[in-house]
Amino acid sequence: MENEARRLYSEAVKTARESAKRGAFDEASALLKSASERSTSEVREGAARDLANLDEYRRAGEARKTAEATEAAQNAFGNRAHRLLKRLKERAYAEVLSELDLAVKDPALAGCRDRLAGDRAVVAAAGAFWEAIQKNLKARLNQEITLLTSDGKFIRGTLKRIQENATTLRIEPSPGDVPFESLHPDQILIFGFGREVIPDQAGASCAAAAMWFFLEGRHDLSRLELATARELGADVDAVEAAWRRGFFRSALGK
């Protein structure tokens, strides 16, 4: 009787193994349970171990598939991140936000949805900071203005023109346009924060500035502003996660 019980269970194991190979884990589990539930104690004990191994095999397979899907999604979007980063440096924030919205909803990119959502938060924050800069600059058109450059010099004159992407500013009587990238970080922060920043908004403003500097590739400045935002009580968990491990971080190579 014991030999017959072993034989019958061994046959069930062979069939269950084939089912497991096809991914039919429920079917394999049912075969093992059916062959052992009315069998000898030895077979039931062996079946319990086999069912535990089957569950572990199932979990490992599911984890492997998830990892493969995630890697495929990350590779697919990672190639696009370089192009989007270029557009961000051209100040096309709205365009990149729209593309990220579509990417978050794309089933093919489900494996990296959280990562995409974090990068979207980064772009939204940077875009808000840039919008504040534009608003502040436009309010000063045809007014006397003093600019602090990155080498510590001052440029004084009348602000006459702002490019749409503000890569340069026209200050008269200065002989040429002033590249935006030549401005001192403190000057950029003054434009971004403006005169309407109140204490309750200061943390969020610093976080937005951190993300703008980050996407500009100015990592040390972004780190400083992010730390300041956290000290001021701003909720920076989402953007900080993307700042550390997002697609744009990988694209920047830092």
Calculate what percentage of the chain has a pLDDT beyond 90. 35
Q: Provide the pLDDT for residue 44.
A: 87
Give the tokens for residue 208: 């937005």
Q: Provide the pLDDT for residue 193.
A: 84
User: Within 10 A of 195 (CB to CB), how many other CB atoms are there?
Assistant: 7
Section 111-130 average pLDDT = 92
Q: Provide the pLDDT for residue 212.
A: 95
Q: How far apart are CA 56 and CA 120, in angstroms?
A: 36
Section 57-69 average pLDDT = 77
Q: Does 164 have pLDDT greater than 80? A: no
Section 28-51 average pLDDT = 89
Section 57-62 average pLDDT = 85
Is the model more confident about 159 or about 65? Answer: 159
Are the beta carbons of 62 and 36 closer than 8 angstroms? Answer: no
Q: How far apart are CA 192 and CA 216, in angstroms?
A: 14
Q: Does 67 have pLDDT greater than 80? A: no
* pTM exceeds 0.85 for this model: no
Section 103-132 average pLDDT = 90
